[in-house]
Structure 1
Amino acid sequence: MPDGDRYPLAHRLYPYARSADQDRDAGGPAHHPVIVVGGGPVGLALALDLGLRGTPTLVLDDAEGIGEGSRALCFSKRTLEIADRLGCGAPMVEKGVKWQVGKVFHDTDLLYEFDLLPEAGHKAPAFVNLPQPDAERFLVERIRTAISDGAPIEIRGRNRVTALETSQPARLQVETPDGPYALTADYVVACDGARSPVRKMLDLDFEGRVFEDNFLIADVRMKAEFPTERWFWFAPHFKSGDSALLHKQPDDVWRIDFQLGWDIDRKAELSEDRVRARVDAMLGEGVDYDLVWTSIYTFQCRRMRKFRHGPVLFAGDAAHQVSPFGARGANSGIQDADNLGWKLDLVVRGAAPDSLLDTYAEEREAAADENILASTRSTDFITPKSKASRMFRDATLALAARHPFARAMVNSGRLSMPSIYDSYLSMPDALPDGPPATRPGAPCPDAPLGDGFLLEKLGSKFTLLAIGCAAPETGLAVVACEPTPELTARYLGAAPSALYLIRPDQHVAARWPMADAATVAAAHSHACGATT
């Protein structure tokens, strides 16, 4: 399939170069505070976050740059807000195709449509469609800028980790074109994908389900009049598969997914003639298009039992996998990095106990369970595996065409939402009249503020948000403002004022109607992992 024109980004962004660590003759292996294994979006985002905080971070990638094909495509509002905090949200939004409306069809009938961001006053759109290679390129470009500004980040291409010991410090063996060498690290973060070699080195595995179905991805370049929306068909009238999904990408490329079933000949289904037959049936005869990239995937809903194993932590697909329906894969991985970055920084700098990293595992394991549950329910509805479940699915679809109550039961993929962390770090809610959506553990919703937006002003440090009240002197950063309609709806509710302690990942640590310095200091200490 032709892909050179559409994916010029699939090239060597960080070609192999011999490092000084490979030339050490005495004194043992070179030591690094944090080594990230894997240069995908999760590993790059984590390295960028750590480097911007001043924690030296080395990325080891077995490739020399980004890959091909759209792969992860739908980046959620929460992921875009994280990217904006890291300094690469703007190019992602500018390049990506913004959307917030989805439509669900059964055969030729439109069952219903939905709007993922019906309220105004947010900087980021609900979703952008952006091929994974583009997102990775923007992260690498931002890392380069950060390095030029002094951030201690290094990426080494064609440095493949071949062995890992979970001693303290951890010890790694690395293979390169010039031969092997050794490294040590205080912490190793495995972001090396679904087939994670690091996970296998430690003899660890997933728990969960593998779904017996196959889906064909076809990236098609064409001029088309389809609107910029997510369209999903159950039993599509064009008969190209049991279900189908259509998304618009940048540069006149469209992502089409066809459900093929379980017992297929993968090689035959990937032949250009067979792929074109399916696309032709969907688009109609005479539509001019180019096939850019194709792939077949079988999905899983599984995770590791534990995301932390001593000095080794797992993130992204290395730690958990979900079906693509709902865009929960890359988005949850970026949120792993968002959760881990500030904690790892505090621990490495000696500003928090090592046990703070246990809360990364606690919070993100719970988030993975949420994603797996939502993804499993979607997949069970889309690909029923028993006669009874198929009868239920078909009856639900038939009812949904005529009765609104049934539409809530139609599941074409519940789209990615950030998790609320009901964990040790979340203080009891001391603002009883406050909105439930911003209780402790919740991600901060954006709102217009002055000449910009709230999340821009919160930044990447512990911050006090004082709405209609004074913030005590604590040494923490302060964002003070008066109530606005958006702040009242999202942060005050029926309360006349509120003081919020915001974590560096922009989740709520605590909130009160007002609080003195000692109360805030205790909550801050608690959020940094103090146990007394």
Structure 2
Amino acid sequence: MEPFAFAPAYELPVWPFTPPPELGSTGIVRHPIVIVGAGPSGLTLACDLAQRGIRAVLLDEDDTVGVRGASSRGICYAQKSLEIFERLGIYERIAAKGITWSFGRTFSGEQEVYNFNLQAESVSRQPPFINLQQFYVEWFLAERILELGLTDVRWKSRVTRVEPLSDGVRVDIETPAGRYTIEADRLIDATGANSPIRAQLGIDAHASRSTDRWCISDVRFKKPLPTERWTWVDAPFNEGRGVWQHLMADGVWRIDYQMPEDCDTAHISRPEVAGARLREQLGPGVEFEFVWIGPYGYRDHLLDSFRHGRVFFIGDAAHVVSPFGARGGNSGIQDAANLGWKLALVAQGQANDALLDSYDAERQPAAKQNLQVTSRSARFLAPRSPAEHTLRRAVVALAARHPFARALVNTGRMSVANDYPPAPQLPEGGRTVQNLPLRRADGRETTLMQLLAEGTQCLGLWLAPTRAAARAAMDATASLPLRLLAIGGDSGLPALQADEKLTRHLGLHDAGSFVLVRPDAYRAATLPHATPHAIATALRTALALDPHAP
């Protein structure tokens, strides 16, 4: 057998275990917010809360990021997630380390059937995607959390039992120095797909019966490949199954090979077997070294509700979808961003507990939509009947010649920020607002995310209001978390320069029109002719407050 070279293993950071003050205590300490799990969603939530000045306890059973012995895991970070990372203060590190891309090609056999460029419709400061090994993102988040200094990060702390209470949750924790118990006003489960908390509470995740199996090869080539996302619907070098090819940081390529469900996972991950696949794909003379090889399998699932009393589920603890289109990890990051500002305002007494119900009302349908999209991709890439095989062959053949058919080639609709359905806090439904580059009235540059990073408050973006209306609106919302900004005009409010791209993206057409943007950069209300009373009512509605209160 041909020997294959392996690059040195990544050296991950290690943080020390510090015995918590509750060890050996006879009383039980109550904490407002406890997060369990320091993966992407748990770390994002802890960082989001710290950025907003909210203290939390973060528990993780390990003392590092990533998974020991594994390499890339999640790699594609979508624009909405990158915008969140700008607000949290780690985007520049991600952009500097990762690989920015927007162009992709899709092949059937040896033939390219279509390509796409995701940059064309974007107005955001962030690109459509950056590829970066998941452990780097977790690393940057952990360091940012420690820099902010408000989160009690407890490594080597395994949750062994949770007990829901009428006004909180009791949590038993095992550490190298012993066991102890704490209580939380609210507990957030970010422990992943195999959540022990969910299992202990007896919550049905409705997991699928079949397991989708892949083999991941992280590879460094001597001769670089094009920095594009290449996808094969039916790769001839992988027995007619799907293949994905991405570049990540450190010159490492991630190549995902779809495998039969009944495959021998140990066999497909052997270096000689993985090396033979690469030779078959790229030619016998290709020079490379392995960084990591590993099998990957999953069953999708979706909870009926992401809130159970004082326990909230985020990320893979709440939902698992197929990896097609990078809708898994990105969705968990966006769960955290949706929940973070709501927890912060409730903790600060500026919103009612009912606002926390909107987390489930918004993110559960988003996860359901992602599951529907990725399940269709899975059926296209792994047809289950002769009729489905025939349909796929016909679609691929048409796509090579006719533009209309290219939309039917389903190799994974790329992750986008989900729209939210109409609800009590979102009467019009919710759409994301992209991170537009902006200029203040004095010419200084800023962005929407930089404005949202300055405290936990909604933004009221108002097109050329009058001075009288601006003064009255400030009086009407003085006790509420709102920052009013004028776009153009001479209202006396802090102002942004008028820009056609900005007003078009926000849907502001006439002087006096108004958009209310939530702290997670979702549009909460659009008022074609804003009045101070209408602005206050829209804001109170968005925060689950009595809209008719004076």
Whole-angstrom CA distance in 2 between matches of 1:452 and 1:299? 41
Q: Find the counterpart in structure 2 of residue 160 from structure 1.
A: 158
Whole-angstrom CA distance in 1 between matches of 2:61 and 2:204? 21
In the TM superposition, residue 4 of structure 1 has moved relative to its aligned partner by 7.0
Q: Which 10-residue stretch deviates more, 238-247 or 384-393?
A: 238-247
- The within-5 A match list for 1:20-59 is 20-24=21-25, 26=26, 28-59=27-58
For the pair 1:443 / 2:443, whether they are aligned, the reply is no
SS in 1 for 2:505: helix
Deviations 1:26-82 (A, max 9, x none): 3x2121100000011110110111122222200000111112311010000000001
The residue identity in structure 2 corresponding to 1:54 is G
1:133 alignment partner, one of 132, 135, 140: 135
In the TM superposition, residue 204 of structure 1 has moved relative to its aligned partner by 1.4
Whole-angstrom CA distance in 1 between matches of 2:243 and 2:483? 49
Deviations 1:333-358 (A, max 9, x none): 00000000011112223322222211
Q: Which 10-residue stretch deviates more, 119-128 or 367-376?
A: 119-128
The residue identity in structure 2 corresponding to 1:422 is P
Are the counterparts in 1 of residues 465 and 511 from structure 2 also a CA contact under 8 Å? no
Residue segments in structure 2 that go unaligned for 5+ positions in a row: 440-444, 489-497
Q: Find the counterpart in structure 1 of residue 74 from structure 2.
A: 72
Whole-angstrom CA distance in 2 between matches of 1:275 and 1:95? 27
SS in 1 for 2:185: strand
Deviations 1:470-514 (A, max 9, x none): 543133212322332212331236545521111111111111123
Are the counterparts in 1 of residues 76 and 131 from structure 2 also a CA contact under 8 Å? yes
- The within-5 A match list for 1:354-503 is 354-429=353-428, 440-450=429-439, 451-459=445-453, 460-470=456-466, 471=470, 472-473=473-474, 474-475=477-478, 476-482=482-488, 483-492=498-507, 494-495=509-510, 498-503=513-518
Q: For the structure 1 residues 398 and 211, does the alpha-carbon distance in structure 2 shift closer, same or farther, using more than 3 Å as the test? A: farther
Q: Find the counterpart in structure 1 of residue 109 from structure 2.
A: 107
Are the counterparts in 2 of residues 457 and 479 from structure 1 also a CA contact under 8 Å? no
The size of the alignment, in residue pairs, is 514
- The within-5 A match list for 1:87-106 is 87-106=89-108
Are the counterparts in 2 of residues 223 and 252 from structure 1 also a CA contact under 8 Å? no
Are the counterparts in 2 of residues 61 and 160 from structure 1 also a CA contact under 8 Å? yes
Deviations 1:203-254 (A, max 9, x none): 1121252444321111001234422211001222334651111000111100
Whole-angstrom CA distance in 2 between matches of 1:504 and 1:291? 43
Whole-angstrom CA distance in 1 between matches of 2:186 and 2:432? 26
SS in 1 for 2:357: helix
TM-score normalised to the size of structure 1?
A: 0.92
SS in 2 for 1:465: strand
- The within-5 A match list for 1:178-193 is 178-193=177-192
Whole-angstrom CA distance in 1 between matches of 2:209 and 2:415? 20
Q: Find the counterpart in structure 2 of residue 8 from structure 1.
A: 11
SS in 1 for 2:119: coil
Q: Find the counterpart in structure 1 of residue 208 from structure 2.
A: 209
Are the counterparts in 2 of residues 328 and 416 from structure 1 also a CA contact under 8 Å? yes
For the pair 1:17 / 2:18, whether they are aligned, the reply is yes
Are the counterparts in 2 of residues 101 and 229 from structure 1 also a CA contact under 8 Å? yes
Deviations 1:302-327 (A, max 9, x none): 21111111111000000000010110
- Structure 1 segments, 4+ long, off by >4 Å, are 1-4, 425-429, 493-497
Q: For the structure 1 residues 220 and 172, does the alpha-carbon distance in structure 2 shift closer, same or farther, using more than 3 Å as the test? A: same
Are the counterparts in 2 of residues 362 and 423 from structure 1 also a CA contact under 8 Å? no
The residue identity in structure 1 corresponding to 2:136 is D
Q: For the structure 1 residues 493 and 229, does the alpha-carbon distance in structure 2 shift closer, same or farther, using more than 3 Å as the test? A: farther
SS in 2 for 1:282: helix
In the TM superposition, residue 15 of structure 1 has moved relative to its aligned partner by 2.3
The residue identity in structure 2 corresponding to 1:478 is L
Q: For the structure 1 residues 197 and 4, does the alpha-carbon distance in structure 2 shift closer, same or farther, using more than 3 Å as the test? A: farther
In the TM superposition, residue 405 of structure 1 has moved relative to its aligned partner by 1.9
Are the counterparts in 1 of residues 422 and 430 from structure 2 also a CA contact under 8 Å? yes
1:515 alignment partner, one of 522, 530, 539: 530
Are the counterparts in 1 of residues 87 and 452 from structure 2 also a CA contact under 8 Å? no
In the TM superposition, residue 301 of structure 1 has moved relative to its aligned partner by 2.8
- The within-5 A match list for 1:248-263 is 248-263=247-262
Are the counterparts in 1 of residues 219 and 254 from structure 2 also a CA contact under 8 Å? yes
Whole-angstrom CA distance in 2 between matches of 1:31 and 1:279? 54
- The within-5 A match list for 1:264-279 is 264-279=263-278
**Identity across the alignment (%):** 39
In the TM superposition, residue 7 of structure 1 has moved relative to its aligned partner by 2.0
In the TM superposition, residue 456 of structure 1 has moved relative to its aligned partner by 2.4
SS in 1 for 2:120: coil
TM-score normalised to the size of structure 2?
A: 0.90
Q: Find the counterpart in structure 2 of residue 434 from structure 1.
A: none
CA RMSD of aligned residues (A): 1.9
Whole-angstrom CA distance in 1 between matches of 2:362 and 2:234? 38
The residue identity in structure 1 corresponding to 2:19 is R
Are the counterparts in 1 of residues 86 and 449 from structure 2 also a CA contact under 8 Å? no
In the TM superposition, residue 102 of structure 1 has moved relative to its aligned partner by 1.0
